[in-house]
Amino acid sequence: MAVDLSQVSTIDTEPGELPATMAAWVIREDRQGEPRDAFQVEEIEVPEPGAFEVVVRVMAAGVNYNNVWAALGEPVGVWRYGDHPEHGHHIGGSDASGVVWKVGAGVTRWQPGDEVVVHCNQASYEDPEVHGLDPLAAPSQRIWGYETTWGSFAQFTKVQAQQLLPKPGALTWEESASYGLTYFTAYRMLMTRCDIQAGDRVLVWGAAGGLGVFATQLCRAAGAQCVGVVSSEEKGELVKQLGAVGYIARSEFAGMMRTGSETPEEEKARFKVMRAFDKRVRELLGEKPDIVFEHVGAATFPTSVFTVKPFGKVVICAGTTGFNLDFDVRYLWMKQKEIIGSHFANAYECTKANELIESGVIRPVLWRTLGFDGVAEAHQLMRDNQHLGKISILIGAGAEGQGRTADGPGAIVAEVGA
Ligand SMILES: NC(=O)c1ccc[n+]([C@@H]2O[C@H](COP(=O)([O-])OP(=O)(O)OC[C@H]3O[C@@H](n4cnc5c(N)ncnc54)[C@H](OP(=O)(O)O)[C@@H]3O)[C@@H](O)[C@H]2O)c1
């Protein structure tokens, strides 16, 4: 049956009761590829909530790089993970704002009608790591809407009750759907994993991107000084607006990017550019950084290890340009530097971070809001690095600007075009 996209903001049932089917953007194994082709709208059955689960009516969904990877099927397809083998489809989307529609057995904290945002970490409550170490250490740990299906690019999504957080009142549906995954990840990287201190100096790669806009704001909130690396002057201006003391246009230092196939002469030349970059960082920050915030991976990692100060920390959560990192390890061991891996955040970190949004200390940075028909296009824009900050998708919300229940500053609008 063809799905009528003009009707996605309309639901015929009341909270507590689910319709039989819904519109959803679906990726399937036989059409992995560029996001514009891999995502297609289908009519799918609405899932029932199991024990300690909740079905949420999605009012708006946030766009993240993880579903660029899911579309491409790189570095691996999602099909072996989570509940994919059971259902055979991938409904992506790891950020949502919405309304609790139906709760499963055992759920006491949330009722139909509650307005929520969703964090994307799932783990089985039966795993002991969840109760004594960290849910991110549990063997059952999965990222909802990436390693599981029933993500947020649909009229309804199925989540664990522990994933729900109160929706910040001063934000619209699209603003509150936009920040969770990247902001909570940046929060754990800097606050928990690096124990950032007032007075610290921080270098942030991709500072106008999804992670970077929050890393930059968190540095300011913690009393740390931050310099952002970006690819355009417009992005640099945004990063300064978010509290960075300065920015570096990476095009000036293109020669420092590691490809892995350099000849010894080329590597020498690369090293020279890397030293010049290090000098620029010191000029802007006054000293070498205590922390380098990494997610670019292979191209930048040698520079990150070289540039961070002795005993400093390189914290990394991704390898967008490549996962096999090679760098001169002498700069690590002789200067006693640390490399710290980090992955999303636990429910407590998400709760604390969400309170900073509620109080307006940290603000979402929204670049575009698209209709439900824009899911594939939004992921293609991200794949092509055409965006700034975050992109949201309206689903249950019929128009932008709805859902605000309190006064407050709202999102920062990243107005400059890329
Ligand atoms: N493990 C986790 O929990 C976790 C959580 C969130 C995201 N991630 C991953 O982290 C990565 C970034 O996510 P995001 O949401 O921040 O993506 P994003 O919005 O695309 O931002 C990434 C930024 O990196 C910069 N960049 C891209 N290619 C670069 C290169 N060759 N050299 C230097 N900088 C480059 C771009 O900025 P400029 O062009 O301005 O330099 C871009 O704005 C993705 O791979 C994502 O899957 C992991």
Q: Give the C-alpha separation, 288 to 202, whole Å.
A: 9
Q: Give the C-alpha separation, 254 to 273, whole Å.
A: 8
Give 278 Cα–ligand 1 centroid separation in angstroms: 21
The model's pTM is 0.98
Q: Which atom of ligand 1 is nearest to the CA of 342?
A: 1
Give 319 Cα–ligand 1 centroid separation in angstroms: 8
Give 63 Cα–ligand 1 centroid separation in angstroms: 13
Residue 74, sorted as left (phi over 0), alpha (psi -120 to 50) or beta, turns out to be: beta
Angstrom CA distances, 240 to 156, 208, 367, 389, stand at: 38, 10, 16, 13
Domain residue ranges of the chain, discontinuous segments joined by +: 5-179+364-413, 183-341
Give 301 Cα–ligand 1 centroid separation in angstroms: 13
For ligand 1, is residue 250 a contact (CB within 6 Å)?
Answer: yes
Residue 298 · residue 320 · CB < 8 Å: no
291's tokens: 């922390």
Q: What parts of the chain have a pLDDT lower than 70?
A: 1-2, 416-418
For the chain, percent of residues with pLDDT exceeding 70: 99
* pLDDT tens-digit readout, 150-161: 999 999 999 999
State the alpha helices, DSSP H only, in 193-299.
212-222, 233-241, 264-285
* pLDDT tens-digit readout, 325-355: 999 999 999 999 999 999 999 999 999 999 9
DSSP states along 118-181: E--EE--TTSHHHHHT-GGGSTT-EETTTTSSS-SSBSEEEEEGGGEEEPPTTS-HHHHHSSHH
Q: What is the pLDDT of residue 2?
A: 67
Angstrom CA distances, 201 to 13, 113, 308, 317, stand at: 53, 44, 10, 19
Q: Whose CA is nearest to atom 10 of ligand 1?
A: 318
Q: Give the C-alpha separation, 309 to 55, whole Å.
A: 47
For ligand 1, is residue 247 a contact (CB within 6 Å)?
Answer: no
Q: What is the pLDDT of residue 415?
A: 73
Give 414 Cα–ligand 1 centroid separation in angstroms: 17
Q: Whose CA is nearest to atom 9 of ligand 1?
A: 318
The two beta strands, 53-62 and 96-103, are: antiparallel
Q: What is the pLDDT of residue 311?
A: 98
Q: Which atom of ligand 1 is nearest to the CA of 66?
A: 47
Cross-strand partners of 41: 25
Residues sharing a CB contact under 8 Å with residue 361, sequence separation 6 or more, in sequence order: 221
For ligand 1, is residue 178 a contact (CB within 6 Å)?
Answer: no
For ligand 1, is residue 372 a contact (CB within 6 Å)?
Answer: no
Residue 345 · residue 320 · CB < 8 Å: no
Q: What is the pLDDT of residue 418?
A: 44
Superfamily of domain 183-341, CATH level 4: NAD(P)-binding Rossmann-like Domain (3.40.50.720)
Q: What is the fold, at CATH topology level, of the domain defined by 5-179+364-413?
A: Quinone Oxidoreductase; Chain A, domain 1 (3.90.180)
Q: What is the pLDDT of residue 3?
A: 83
